[in-house]
Every structure is written in C-alpha cells, then in structure tokens.
Amino acid sequence: MANSELISKDEFLWSFKENVNALALPEKFTFPFYYTPHELSLRATEQLKEYLSVQNDFQHNFGLKNGQEGLVIGKMFGVLVVEDQEGELRFLAAFSGKLANSNHHIKFVPPVFDMLKQDGYYKIEESKINVLTQEIEVLEQNEEIAKAAAFLRQESALMEERLELQRQKSRRAKQERKAWRKEAEETLTGEALEERLGKIKHESLCFKFYQKDLINYWNIRTQMAKEALLKIEQPILELKEHRKRRSSALQNKLFSEYNFLNAEGARKSLQSIFQHTVFEIPPAGAGECAAPKLLHYAFRKGLKPVCMAEFWWGASPKSEVRKHGHYYPACKGKCEPILSHMLVGLSVEDNPMDAFESANKQIDIVFEDDDLVVINKPHDFLSVPGKTIKDSVYERMKEMYPNATGPLIVHRLDMATSGIMLIAKNKESHKALQAQFIQRTIKKRYEALLDGTLELRKGRIELPLRVDIEDRPRQLVCYEHGKPALTIWEKRAEKDGRTRVYFYPISGRTHQLRVHAAYKDGLNTAIVGDELYGSKSDRLHLHAGFIQFNHPINEQLMKFTISAKF
C-alpha cells in the first residue's frame, strides 16, 4: 500500500482501494462483543491484512515466517470505518498493546495514553522507581545479609533438632512414669503409694518446666538472629516500602489521567470506569486494546464511527485459542467496562444474545419413567436460565413436571451444543445420577464436525483448563492453575476438507471439547460454527449423541443414542 493512500490531512486515515460508495451502510454501529463483520469492515480488514503481509515499516515476529528473529508474538488488530468531515468513508487501524516494542507506527492510531513517551511523567517517574530498584539490588548483594540469613537458618535448624530430642526424651519418660504408676498402684498402698505418686508427678512437672525453659531459650536465640538480620536488611525494607508508595502513586495518577472520550464528548478515567466492576482497579493492559484506541481517536478528531471489526494476526498465543486471520469480539474483562462508556451517544446494534429467540425450540422426550427423563436438547438453547434469558431446559421441565422434587437438572450442555441430557424427577434419582457423574461411571460420546482435516485416526488430549478471568466465558489452557481435562477422540469420516469425529470426554470441564479441538496442542482444528474458538456458521456442530448409565433406582443398564442433524 502506498503512502498516498492515506489522507494527507490526517496520516492515520486510510482510503479504501476500491469504491465502496455503493455498499449499504449499517443501520447501527457494531455491537463489539458479538458481531458478524459488515462488508465495509471486511474490505477494510482485507486491505490492512494485505499491508501487514508485505510491509517493511517495522520488524515484528508474528510467527508467520520461518527463521525470523525475535520473540513470536501474535497481535490483535482492529479497523474502524468512519465518515470524515466531508462525509467520505475512510477507516482507521489499530493494534492492541505494543507493536515492535513501540506504541507508534505511521499507519496506526496512537494510544490513548502513551506510557512509553520518554519525556512523559510516566517514564520519568518509572525511571526514578527503577533507580530505587537498582539501589535495592545493590544492597541485597551485601555478604553480611547472606551470613546473617545463613546463621538464622542454622539457629532455627538447631532449635528444631534440640527441641525434637527433648520431645523424644519426654515421650520416653512419660512411658516410664506410666509404668511406674501402674507398678506402684499394684504393689503399694497408703502413704507409700502417695509418696511414690508424688515423686512421679514431681518428675512430670520438672520435664514440663524444663521443656518450657528450653523453648524460651531457643526462641530468644533465634529472635536475636532474626533481629541481627533485620538490622542489616532495614535499609532495604525502607527502600522497598518507598518504592511501593511511589509505584502506587504512579499507578493512581495513571488511572486518574488515563481517560476516554465517548460519542457525546464526555471523558471518563480508567479509575472511575473500573471502580464499580469486580476488578475495582483496572486490570493490566486495560485501555490498550484496539477498539478503545480506535474510538477515542475518532471522537477526538470528530469522525463518525460506522462499523468496526477486530482480527488476530500471527501465531496462536501459548494459552489462548487464536487463529491467524480470524475475527474476534472485544474482550469482556478489559474492554466491556471501557466501551460501555465510549459507546454512549452512538446508536449501537442490540446484543443478539438479549434478543435470542427460543420459543420455537422444541425439546424431544427420548425416554421417561417415574424417576427420570431423557431429553434431546436443541442447539442454541440454554440448560438453565441465563442473566437475560429465562427460557431453558430447566424452565421447560419445571413446567412439564410441576410435582417433581429436587433440582431436576443433573448435568448441563453448552447453550450451543445439542444432544442428550438427563433430568431427575425426584431427589433420590438426582443424587444417584450425580454420583455416577462424579465417579465417572457414566459413558458419554459426542459427535462433532471439524473445520479441517486430521492426519491421525485417534488419540487423547490432556490439556488443563481454567476460565479466562478477563474474557469470560472463554477458557484458557493453563498448566499452573488449570483443572485436569482429558478427552479421547477418533476420526469417523472426512469430506470436503472437514472431519467428523467422536469425542469421549473423561472429565467434564467447561468448553472442554471446543478448546481441545481448537487449541494448537490439541487437534488444532476448531469445531465448525464455534464462534468463540473458531468461526461462525449456522450452528455449533457439536452433539451429545450417546450416553450409558445405570438407572438411578433399579440400577438397570441404560443406553441411548441420538444421531446428529449435521
């Protein structure tokens, strides 16, 4: 793309290569957390992707070229189609975070607040804090600290050794006194017995007092060692406290001055935006995503937002499922509070999830007796009521079986997943069925259509999962804090570049099959229609098609199979 394609009066405004005036404008601005990119956004992103593929303006290793130097870091990019002051359609581009270790590049809007600006207060104060860190590191190299710490460890170990020896001696003496007491009670009477028992009691008290004195003695010795170490470390502790205060003050200043415009021209700081959220304080990186950058710049320059889209460029990150070139919604944790403010004054599309139509969804009864019901849940239908949608399997079952006792729902399926669910009509059945799920004696099989092909015919996937706190309900692969998740799989058929597979989940984590399919160390092939970890389609092609369990009351073995409708 030549530089001439940028509007001369604003270096960050891009011109469309092709004439887009014939394209119908969207009636409302993009709902950023659940959207299908408008044709204008598609044209803009294709143009940006073309530039990223051939540009030489910066060097950044996206992980797309073999042998490229530097740490592999994929990036989220965004485009915002706008009308300029003359009513012409243009678009802006932005990246999340830093790119090539810089906040500034010629074709991308600047950050809302530039923390890397060398003469800015943030970098100046950060440099002062770094000086404190260096002073602390120098003081921590003092050999006297190492000697004092070693002496404290030696004293503590010696204390434990001596006290343990005394505890062992006390235990042996206690056993001896017990034997003496028994012998005295069997052989002595009267004053002789009283005298012997008195001596035994006196010896017991002596042991107790000696042990108490010994503990006090060693506590004093170790306390003296601790105080000697603390005396040497005191200057370091004072510097660390000083650094902590300065860091906190810098953070508070940043949060209060890092503010965002909205469509009405009102500003709001990061601090005020997040103070009423679950985070209370802004999470790391808040405000540095592409969407807030784009909107803030547009509002600042008097440009009218038309539509927007964000896409991933580069290799997938270590823990997340991100596919090169795929479109993604704005994140919930960092961006939702900010964008909720920034979009005030714009006519924004309704959240499709709030207007989700479920009235035409039918629940098929597969089996029923006095204790349980086996149903076939339709896709795009909740198992239990959500925040804004009440209609669900639970509500339908409660209406169908008003005399049922207990929680009814034994297990859940994702809203987008279709297939077999078990419903308990009474508390006893619910308890018995849940026990089978907990003990993993219930056998389940899911059928899925993958958006790609597989070389192997079968295998197992073990990837621990946890929720992405900053972007619920997405799940992350996390070996440090994730819960174990195991899936067995087998390939069933391949056609037109897609693969039909069976999944046998051994554990039942949220989005387990979806992540295990899409993640690079799993099958690296998302399920068709998986809008969270892959690409949108008419539906999520995932179906709970088989279940085997023991009847909760008579313990008869039961098996049910329902074919997928895809």
CB atoms within 10 A of CB 344: 13
Measure Cα distances from 353 to 25, 395, 487, 528, 541 in Å: 23, 18, 29, 20, 19
Query: Can you give the C-alpha Rg of the chain in angstroms?
Result: 34
Q: Tell me the C-alpha distance between 117 and 433, whole Å.
A: 61
HSE of 488, CA atoms in CB hemisphere, 13 A: 5
Give 105's DSSP letter: B
Active-site residue identified among 350, 414, 468, 538: 414
Edge-to-edge, what's the strand order for the sheet holding 89-95? Answer: 89-95, 75-83, 304-313, 327-328
Q: Tell me the C-alpha distance between 530 and 538, whole Å.
A: 10
Q: Are strands 304-313 and 267-269 parallel, antiparallel or unpaired?
A: unpaired
Retrieve residue 198's tokens.
Answer: 């008195």
Give 315's DSSP letter: S
Q: Tell me the C-alpha distance between 139 and 243, whole Å.
A: 14
Retrieve residue 33's tokens.
Answer: 């957390």
> What are residue 467's DSSP bridge partners?
475
**Burial, 406: exposed, middle or buried (Cβ in 10 Å; 0-12, 13-18, 19+)?**
middle
Residue type, 414: D
Tally of helices (H runs) and strands (E runs) in the chain: 10, 17
HSE of 543, CA atoms in CB hemisphere, 13 A: 18
Q: Tell me the C-alpha distance between 414 and 433, whole Å.
A: 19
Retrieve residue 105's tokens.
Answer: 């590049």
CB atoms within 10 A of CB 203: 15
Residue type, 184: A
Our answer to whether residue 414 is catalytic in this structure is yes
By annotation, the residues acting in catalysis are: 414
